[in-house]
Amino acid sequence: MTSTPARLLADLLTIREHRGELAGLTLTFLGDGACNMAHSYLLAGATAGMHIRIASPAGYTPQPKVLADAEAIAAKTGGSITLYTDPAEAVTGVDVVVTDTWVSMGFEKEKAARVASLGAYRVDSALLALAKPDALFMHCLPADRGYEVTADVIDGPQSIIWDEAENRLHAQKALLVWLLGHNTNP
């Protein structure tokens, strides 16, 4: 799967708006660790000097090449990469908790198997309570309420999903301005 750099620009902007500096923050991604969002958090978070934790079951771990690239980047920026199978351990004491849909386009026929495999990684209030008291919750949307996240979390006071969604517009406009300003073609 590919990474989603434009989306991560918006997500990192959103975290920075709420927490200031990104370097040194700890973020846990829960669920399908082999999905494009997990890969993107590994690479972008490491680039920002963050401590990235990916919690996923066997068979849903990040691609080895992406993991190696993220670890190399983290070694240069002061960040870190850690993989977990226990969601509670992965969330304990973190600044940001993130999840993504378990059933992306093209995986609809695998829905039952994915729900069964990933069920322990659902973000509910009990799991979120293990993070720091002021931890942020993020989801790139659309969310399948009751599957990867419960309604009380996604609609709760720690959720910053609407800021995250709004910041996609701002981050992508900034990216376009930057790209247009760096045009090397006459």
pLDDT at residue 1 greater than cutoff 70? no
Cα dist. 89→54, 92, 93, 115, 183 in Å? 11, 5, 9, 21, 46
**43 three-class SS:** helix
Domain locations along the chain: 5-181
CB–CB of 149/139 below 8 Å?
yes
Between these two residues, 27 and 103, which has the higher pLDDT value? 27
In sequence order, which residues have a C-beta less than 8 Å from that of residue 82 and are 6 or more positions away? 51, 52, 53, 54, 90
In sequence order, which residues have a C-beta less than 8 Å from that of residue 146 and are 6 or more positions away? none
Architecture of domain 5-181: 3-Layer(aba) Sandwich (3.40)
- 88-128: pLDDT as tens digits: 999 999 999 999 988 877 778 888 999 999 999 999 999 99
pLDDT band at 2, cuts 50/70/90? very low
